[in-house]
Chains A and B, each alone.
Chain A
Amino acid sequence: MMVANQAGASQPFRETSSRGLFGRASETRLGALLIIASIVVPVLFGSSYWLHILLLVNLYVVVAICQNLLLADAGQVSFGQGAVFGVAAYTVGIVSGLNGYPLGLGLVAGLAAGIVLGLLFALPALRVKGFYLGFVTIAAATVMPEMLNAFSEVTNGINGIGLRVRWLRQPWILGVSPLALAIMTLSLGTLFAHNFLRRTAVGRLMRVAASSPETALTLGYRPGVVRSLAFLIAAAGTSLAGVLYGPLLGFLSPDAFHFDLSIFFFFAVIVGGSGRLMGPLVGTAILYLVPNVLLVDLVEYRLVGYGVTALLIMLLFPDGVVGTIAKRIRLRSASTKRAVLSSQPLLAMRAGQELIRQVPENGLAVKVCGARRRYGQVLALDGVNLEVGRNTIHGLVGPNGSGKTTLLNILSGLSRLDGGTISVFGTKAGTLSASDIAKLGVSRTFQTPRIFEDLTVWENLQLGLDANRGPKNPALIAACEAIGRPLADRRPDELPHAQRRMLELLRCIATGPRLLFLDEPAAGLSGEERGRFAELLRRLRDELDLTVVLVEHDLALVWKLADEITVLDAGRVVESGSPDKVVGNPTVQKLFWGERDA
Chain B
Amino acid sequence: MDEFFIIVIRGIGIGAVYSLVAISFNVVYQSSGILNFAQGHMLILGGVFGSMFLPPDAGVLTWLALLIAAGLSIALLMVVQGYITLLPLKSSVEQHSWLITTLAVSVIISALILITKGPFALVVRDPFPPFRAFGIETPAAYAIAPILAIAACLGLGWFHRHTLTGLAMSAISQDLEAARAAGIRVRRLQILSFAISGLIVGAAGFGVGAILSISPSSPINYVLNGFVAAVIGGIGSNAGALVGGAMVGVLSMWAAYNVGGEYQNAVSLALLVVILMARPQGLFGRVLARQV
Contacts and interface: CB of A to CB of B under 8 A. Distances in A.
Interface in B71-127: 84, 87-88, 92, 94, 96-97, 99-101, 103-108, 110-112, 114-115
Given A130-B290, A263-B103, A150 B227 contact: no
B280 interface: yes
A143 to B, nearest CB: 5
Interface string A140-154: 101100110110000
B292 interface: yes
Interface stretch (A59-67, A228-236, A297-305, A338-346): A297-305
Contacts of A77: 96, 99
B289 A315 contact: no
A223 B292 contact: yes
A131 B37 CA distance: 10
A308 interface: yes
24 contacts: A123-B273, A124-B277, A127-B276, A127-B277, A128-B289, A128-B290, A131-B35, A132-B231, A136-B272, A140-B269, A142-B224, A143-B266, A146-B266, A149-B262, A214-B292, A259-B220, A301-B115, A306-B104, A306-B107, A307-B104, A308-B104, A310-B101, A318-B88, A318-B92
For the complex of A and B, 5 pairs with smallest distance between CB atoms: A307-B108, A303-B111, A307-B107, A139-B269, A311-B104
A135 B227 contact: yes
A138 interface: yes
B138 interface: no
Contacts of B289: 127-128, 132
Given A75-B96, A146-B263, A304-B108, 19 more contacts: A77-B96, A127-B289, A128-B291, A135-B224, A135-B228, A138-B223, A138-B224, A142-B224, A143-B265, A143-B266, A146-B262, A150-B262, A301-B111, A304-B111, A306-B104, A306-B107, A307-B106, A307-B107, A308-B104
B260 interface: yes
Contacts of B213: none
Nearest to A306: B107
B292 A128 contact: no
A389 to B, nearest CB: 31
A308 B108 contact: yes
Contacts of B30: none
Contact of A135 (B101, B262, B272): B272
A311 B84 contact: yes
A79 interface: yes
A383 interface: no
B237 interface: no
A318 B94 CA distance: 8
Task: Determine the main DSSP class of B at the interface with A.
Answer: helix
Interface in A449-499: none
A304 B115 contact: yes
B221 interface: yes
A136 B35 contact: no
Contact of B99 (A134, A213, A301): A134
B277 A311 contact: no
B220 A128 contact: no
Interface string B223-237: 110011001000000
A265 to B, nearest CB: 12
Interface residues of A, number: 47
Contacts of B280: 127-128, 132
A319 to B, nearest CB: 9
A448 to B, nearest CB: 14
Contacts of A130: 96, 290
A140 B269 CA distance: 7
B269 A136 contact: yes
Contact of A303 (B110, B265, B268, B273): B110
B114 A303 contact: yes
Interface in B177-206: none
Max chain A Cβ within 10 angstroms of own Cβ: one of B99, B104, B260: B104
Given A128-B289, A307-B111, A147 B266 contact: yes
B108 A129 contact: no
A314 interface: yes
A149 B260 CA distance: 12
B99 A131 contact: yes
B100 A314 contact: yes
A142 B267 CA distance: 12
Task: Determine the main DSSP class of A at the interface with B.
Answer: helix
A139 B224 contact: yes
Contacts of A267: 104
A34 B248 CA distance: 49
B276 A124 contact: yes
B220 A142 contact: yes
B35 A138 contact: no
A537 interface: no
Contact of A139 (B84, B108, B260, B268): B268
A472 B94 CA distance: 38
A372 B105 CA distance: 49
A120 interface: yes
A516 interface: no
Given A135-B227, A301-B115, A128 B276 contact: yes
Interface in A493-516: none
A300 B117 CA distance: 13
Contact of B273 (A120, A263, A266): A120
Interface string A213-240: 1100100000110000000000000000
Contacts of A140: 269
A270 interface: yes
Given A308-B108, A311-B84, A138 B266 contact: no
B103 A79 contact: yes
B292 A311 contact: no
Nearest to A212: B292
B115 A138 contact: no
B220 A315 contact: no
Given A124-B276, A136-B272, A303-B114, A150 B292 contact: no
A132 B228 CA distance: 10
Contact of A263 (B88, B107, B228): B107
B100 A310 contact: yes
A523 to B, nearest CB: 21
B108 to A, nearest CB: 4
Contacts of B227: 135
Nearest to A138: B224
Interface string B249-263: 000000000001011
Max chain B Cβ within 10 angstroms of own Cβ: one of A79, A124, A300: A124
A381 B133 CA distance: 59
A124 B289 CA distance: 12
A150 B276 contact: no
A233 B291 CA distance: 21
Contacts of B223: 138
Nearest to B276: A124
